[in-house]
Amino acid sequence: MDQEQQLLRDVFGYPDFRPGQRSLIDSLLGGQDVLGIMPTGAGKSICYQLPALLMPGITIVVSPLISLMKDQVGALVQSGVRAAYINSSLTERQCRKALENARNGIYKIIYVAPERLMTSGFLSVGAAPTNNIVCVDEAHCVSQWGQDFRPSYLAIPDYIKTLSHRPVVGAFTATATGEVREDILRLLQLQDLKVLVTGFDRPNLYFGVLSPTDKYAAVRQYLLSHPDRSGIIYCLTRKTVEEVTERLCEDGFSAVRYHAGLDPEERRRNQDDFVYDRARIMVATNAFGMGIDKSNVSFVLHYNMPKNIESYYQEAGRAGRDGSPADCILLYSGRDVITNQFLIDQSEPNPDLSPEQQAEIRQRDKERLRQMTFYATAHSCLREFLLRYFGEHPASYCGHCSVCEAGFELLDASDAAACALRAIAATSRRFGITTWIDLLRGAKNERLLYGALAASAEYGALADWDREQLRALFSLLLADGFLTRTQDDRPVLSLTDAGRDFLAHPAPLMLHRPNPRTHSTHPATAKQKKGAAQGPVDASLLARLKELRLSLAKRAGVPAFVIFTDVTLQNICAMMPKSEAEFLQVPGVGKAKCERYAADFLALLASYKGENLQ
Ligand code: ADP
Ligand code: ZN
């Protein structure tokens, strides 16, 4: 075993590196700048924390979020690493003290808010020639094309220039479309670069889309059928957050709310209640979550469709960070599209950009929203859709998403497509999808009969397709640009030039057609089978371990998962260590934590065994 792996075991308690970690660590240690693009939960932090421990001197980590810094530093200190953070949450005195310690070389790792970099106090830390790595977390914040542009990130290269020698620079992000990636390379002035993109797949996440008529009822049903799970419900607006939280509390669920309109005191309190497991459910706008490293989030429900796939994957990715099975379910309704459209139109223009650039950004936002809508209405594997969006070439069946579970067949739908397009081309009148589906199925509703649509040559031409299958066909025609749809309350369809071309020269068109009548399966029911594959864990022992963890966490003043994650506790249950040496073998237990906690846990295991023998 080499030094790096030894350190991974000793300090972090993990037996093996995850994909990509090794290569990024080796590059940084070899003096090469890196750009690491890994999905949320993949384990980016270790990629710079571990080299920080192996290099002499200090590693500076630029991070946009105060809560993230606090948790990361808390976790490092728990693992026996000297670390500190410098941001606006410190008092003047604490800050002076931290800077003094830093100058004296007390810390290996210092987290800093970008706004602080160019302050005289912080510059004095870098003056010592011992600054070896500068890491930029959430590096997409440097790009104004990204979703979370932070102008203060642009000061990072200036800061690096103030140092007596150029450190190795590592940039990390979970989001990088081509433009954002180029911005990161250019604006952070990365040199001799290694770019590593790990697979974006998160196999432990189950992806589902539901279009329930009553969203609240669907949420309630989910929560009732998963009573032990803790998770996040994302809503698009503050008002919806308020409404959903209120109803959940009335219904007896333990839920707290979070959005930018609350006073900072309540925000902090609610966040802590959730992170410290005092509240089971967090209902929030997208203001919540960046930098929340709560590892036992077992579901992320989206009450509304978010504005783009980047945001969706990042928010959904907050589930299952410890690698245990978790659900990511989107509750979609057509209204979500309109709300998002409105939010894009209302968004604050960036005053530094020209009107043309602003128009361009709006246009891109709309295109991103369109892609998100295709996900919400997809009839092919959801995981495939997401991974393809991030530039991968995944298999077209994952078996672990709501579409795969419901089942679908792949067929050449060119005749059916031509039929639908012909019907639309034949009249100058405009209708929404539902009317066209009625027409193609030959429905006997009044509107068709009196509107003379029943006289159309295509009336009833696709009578053997069910409604859901025809919806899939229309989604495909929209996604491929053969049809467009107006963006208002009652969207109507019209044929595009590409659609007319297709009618003139029909080409094969492959469609994932949902299997008849199986597609309404609720993922909650389908899911329960999967959980059981986990192997039995002694639930009452696990509960006792959690109690112990909670009391240790309270004593140390840190969230419970900082002591041990749920997965680590499950590993303890499964391995039943009898000695300190065995305890150290449990994945998730490092040396520092073993020294600190082995005695308490071993005592509990011994007495538990004793009780169960009697
Ligand atoms: P990211 O910043 O990429 O979202 P984190 O660095 O917060 O992810 O890591 C996510 C979780 O994975 C953390 O709980 C972390 O301790 C865990 N983790 C990281 N690397 C490993 C590894 N090699 N083996 C097991 N767990 C790991
Ligand atoms: Zn799938």
Q: In the structure, what pLDDT confidence band is assigned to residue 163 with cuts at 50, 70 and 90?
A: confident
- CATH number, position 551: 1.10.150.80
Task: Say whether both 249 and 294 belong to one domain.
Answer: yes
Task: Say whether both 227 and 149 belong to one domain.
Answer: no
- Tens digit of each residue's pLDDT (9 = 90 or more) over 531-562: 323 446 788 898 899 999 988 988 888 888 88
Task: Say whether both 71 and 134 belong to one domain.
Answer: yes
The atom of ligand 1 lying closest to the CA of 12 is 16
Q: 18: Cβ below 6 Å to ligand 1?
A: yes
Q: How far apart (Å, rounded) are the C-alpha atoms in residues 485 and 15?
A: 52
pLDDT (mean) for 191-217 = 90
Domain of residue 50: give its range.
3-197
What lies within 8 Å, CB to CB, of 262 at 6+ separation is: 270
**Ligand 1 pocket test: which of 9, 12, 21, 324 has the largest number of ligand atoms within 8 Å of its C-beta?**
12
Strands 493-495, 326-331: pairing kind: unpaired
Residue 272 lies in a domain: yes
Task: Say whether both 442 and 568 belong to one domain.
Answer: no
Identify the H or E element spanning 503.
helix 497-504
pLDDT over 90 (residue 42): no
Q: How far apart (Å, rounded) are the C-alpha atoms in residues 419 and 452?
A: 18
Q: What's the chain's average pLDDT?
A: 87
Number of compact structural domains in the chain: 4
**Of 197, 226, 260, at which residue does a domain stop?**
197
Output the residue whose Cα is nearest ligand 1's atom 12.
Answer: 43
- CATH number, position 445: 1.10.10.10
Task: Say whether both 419 and 552 belong to one domain.
Answer: no
Task: Say whether both 191 and 85 belong to one domain.
Answer: yes
Q: 45: Cβ below 6 Å to ligand 1?
A: yes
**172: its two tokens:** 């990390």
Residue 527 lies in a domain: no
Task: Say whether both 486 and 509 belong to one domain.
Answer: yes
- Tens digit of each residue's pLDDT (9 = 90 or more) over 337-356: 999 998 888 887 667 778 88
Task: Say whether both 259 and 397 belong to one domain.
Answer: yes
Task: Say whether both 229 and 331 belong to one domain.
Answer: yes
Task: Say whether both 162 and 301 belong to one domain.
Answer: no
Task: Say whether both 175 and 241 belong to one domain.
Answer: no
Contact call for residues 395 and 384 (beta carbons, < 8 A): yes
409 CA to middle of ligand 2, Å?
13
pLDDT over 80 (residue 515): no
Percent of the chain whose pLDDT exceeds 70: 94
pLDDT (mean) for 178-188 = 88
pLDDT over 80 (residue 20): yes
pLDDT over 60 (residue 215): yes
Residue 89 lies in a domain: yes
- Tens digit of each residue's pLDDT (9 = 90 or more) over 105-161: 889 999 999 999 998 888 888 766 566 899 999 999 998 776 678 888 999 999 999
Residue 179 lies in a domain: yes
Q: How far apart (Å, rounded) are the C-alpha atoms in residues 103 and 125?
A: 5
Using alpha carbons only, give the angle 340, 344, 349 rounded to the nearest 5 degrees. Answer: 160
**Ligand 1 pocket test: which of 68, 321, 324, 564 has the largest number of ligand atoms within 8 Å of its C-beta?**
321
Higher pLDDT, 390 or 279: 279
**Ligand 1 pocket test: which of 7, 11, 14 has the largest number of ligand atoms within 8 Å of its C-beta?**
14
- CATH number, position 103: 3.40.50.300
Residue 360 lies in a domain: yes
Residue 368 lies in a domain: yes
Output the residue whose Cα is nearest ligand 1's atom 20.
Answer: 43
Name the range with the highest mean pLDDT among 71-75, 140-144, 169-173.
169-173
- Predicted confidence at residue 329, as pLDDT, reads 97
Q: 588: Cβ below 6 Å to ligand 1?
A: no
Q: 315: Cβ below 6 Å to ligand 1?
A: no
Task: Say whether both 318 and 261 belong to one domain.
Answer: yes
Q: 322: Cβ below 6 Å to ligand 1?
A: yes
Residue 521 lies in a domain: no
- Predicted confidence at residue 266, as pLDDT, reads 96
Q: 111: Cβ below 6 Å to ligand 1?
A: no
Lowest model confidence (mean pLDDT) among 14-18, 102-106, 482-486, 519-523:
519-523
Q: In the structure, what pLDDT confidence band is assigned to residue 529 with cuts at 50, 70 and 90?
A: very low
Q: 22: Cβ below 6 Å to ligand 1?
A: no
**Of 403, 425, 456, at which residue does a domain stop?**
403
Strands 281-284, 408-412: pairing kind: unpaired
Residue 528 lies in a domain: no
Q: 383: Cβ below 6 Å to ligand 1?
A: no
Contact call for residues 190 and 169 (beta carbons, < 8 A): yes
Output the residue whose Cα is nearest ligand 1's atom 15.
Answer: 43
Identify the nearest ligand to the CA of 384 by its number.
2
**Of 197, 216, 232, at which residue does a domain stop?**
197
- Look at the pTM and tell me if it is higher than 0.85: no
The atom of ligand 1 lying closest to the CA of 47 is 6
Three-state secondary structure of 74-132 = HHHHHCCCCEEEECCCCCHHHHHHHHHHHHCCCCCEEEECHHHCCCHHHHHHHCCCCEE
